[in-house]
Amino acid sequence: MFLFCGPTGDGLMQVFMAIKTTLFLVVMSSVIRTSQELKLVLVTMAVAVLIQSGILSASYVMKKTIGFSSKIADTSLMEFSGGGADSIHRATGTVGHVNQQAMFHTFFTIPLAALFMVKNWIWKGLSLAVVIASCVALILTFSRASWISCGLAAATILFLAWKHNRMTHTAWLCVWFGGIFFICLVGIFSPMIAKRLTKCDDGASMSRVHIALLALEHIERRPITGVGPGNFINSKVAEHPIRWARSVWLPRGFVFRPQFIDDMEVSQVELQEKWYYTSVPTHNRYLLVGAELGIIGLGLFIWFQAGIWAATVRLLKTKDSFLWWVAVTMVAGFFACQTEFMFELFYNDKTVLIPLFINAVVLNLDRLIASETQGGLSVCS
């Protein structure tokens, strides 16, 4: 499809990214061989999440980006006005864009719920501290998609625990107190959360609707091969060149107004004191794959997701208590992943690799539980 639709620089980058993510999945899906190694991976994830939560909190307090690159460090945070005088600053860490940071906290925190079920109180305390810190960090990103993903993941874990009768009365009491604490935590940030959900959109939702319609247009125009990887924007610009010199009436208080090529929004961004015209693909993984790779590529992507779901469901058959709880978090992670696929932009390696890491853990766990079943022995104490 890359050759059929004409190779471009963006398309070549997308092909290289696909090769890299495939190699990543192949390598990472075979690194965890025992339950002890799985615990080590979870503890390492907990430390990483805790560090990023600290960096993000410092970023929010100082109202600036903290990074290792001179191009990123000391730059201002993203913010939403909400139509009022006060703006909401969206804090971030060193993972990348604020939505990528939110995704990192979502997918790397969900599996840590399994550490609550180990016998060692040190690991329980560590996981509790990390989950609290990550929840605060996630709130400060003000990423609505990740908020929905985490809520759905938490509901999935509690539902499966109730359905399989895996929680004692003491455990449910702890969940009850945890719920009260979380309600208080949300209450602290409730004015900003309410403003983010009701006013601080700045046209983002309508822009995503327009770009989703453009994706459907691409699918209708080239249903078999798609427009080619990396050609989501280029194919539209090639057909309808932008009228750069066109006069546009600006609303009072605005210095720039986005232009539209049918359903594609063209905005301006400032990078290193220079202004550029830019646009972004659809914030929906399925529509993006269908638009760029056609029905063939979309079918392969759905087949891969179906395979991950089948492997995830098999995990619940394990007889080992700890592995079962990890399996439950993987089910929750799958639903969170699908939610992110529906609302977020997946157009670079970071946003693709973060959920793919959870897929790799699923494949590792599937192989680990299969060896447990064949050996007839418990692999975790």
Answer for the pair 212, 343: CB distance below 8 angstroms, yes or no.
no
**Residue 362 reports pLDDT greater than 80:** yes
Average pLDDT, the chain: 81
pLDDT score, position 91: 87
pLDDT score, position 261: 60
Region 263-270 average pLDDT: 59
**Residue 83 reports pLDDT greater than 70:** no
pLDDT score, position 315: 92
Cα separations in angstroms, 357 against 113, 350, 352: 17, 11, 9
pLDDT digits (tens, 9 = 90+) for 196-207: 887 776 667 777
Nearest to 323 by CA among 82, 111, 170: 111
Confidence of residue 338 (pLDDT cuts 50, 70, 90): very high
pLDDT score, position 243: 57
Region 106-125 average pLDDT: 88
Overall size of the chain counted in residues: 381
pLDDT score, position 197: 80
**Residue 250 reports pLDDT greater than 70:** no
Percentage with pLDDT > 90 across the chain: 31
DSSP 165-207: T---HHHHHHHHHHHHHHHHHHHHTHHHHHHHHHTTTTTHHHH
Of residues 5 and 168, more confidently modeled: 168
**Residue 80 reports pLDDT greater than 80:** no
The separation between CA 55 and the C-alpha centre of its own chain, rounded to angstroms, equals 19
Of residues 51 and 62, more confidently modeled: 51
**Residue 246 reports pLDDT greater than 70:** no
CB crowding 174-189: b at 16 or more within 10 Å, else e = ebeeeeeeeeeeeeee
Answer for the pair 14, 288: CB distance below 8 angstroms, yes or no.
no
Instruction: Tokens 């400060």: give the residue.
Output: 140
Answer for the pair 161, 167: CB distance below 8 angstroms, yes or no.
yes
Q: Which residues contact 178 (CB under 8 A, 6 or more apart)?
A: none
pLDDT score, position 381: 36
Quote the Cα angle for 281-339-83, to 5°.
65
Q: How many Cβ atoms are within 10 Å of 112's Cβ, its own excluded?
A: 21
Q: How many Cβ atoms are within 10 Å of 1's Cβ, its own excluded?
A: 19
Residue type, position 369, single letter: I
**Residue 341 reports pLDDT greater than 50:** yes
pLDDT digits (tens, 9 = 90+) for 162-208: 999 988 888 889 889 988 999 998 888 888 888 888 777 666 777 78
Q: Which residues contact 130 (CB under 8 A, 6 or more apart)?
A: 46, 49, 50, 53, 109, 112
Q: Which of 17-26, 183-192, 263-272, 322-331 has the highest mean pLDDT?
A: 322-331
Q: Locate the domains of the chain by residue range.
A: 35-200
pLDDT score, position 75: 67
**Residue 2 reports pLDDT greater than 50:** no
**Residue 256 reports pLDDT greater than 60:** no
**Residue 300 reports pLDDT greater than 90:** yes
Answer for the pair 94, 52: CB distance below 8 angstroms, yes or no.
yes
Q: Compute and round to an integer the Cα radius of gyration of the chain.
A: 22
pTM equals 0.83
Of residues 74 and 287, more confidently modeled: 287
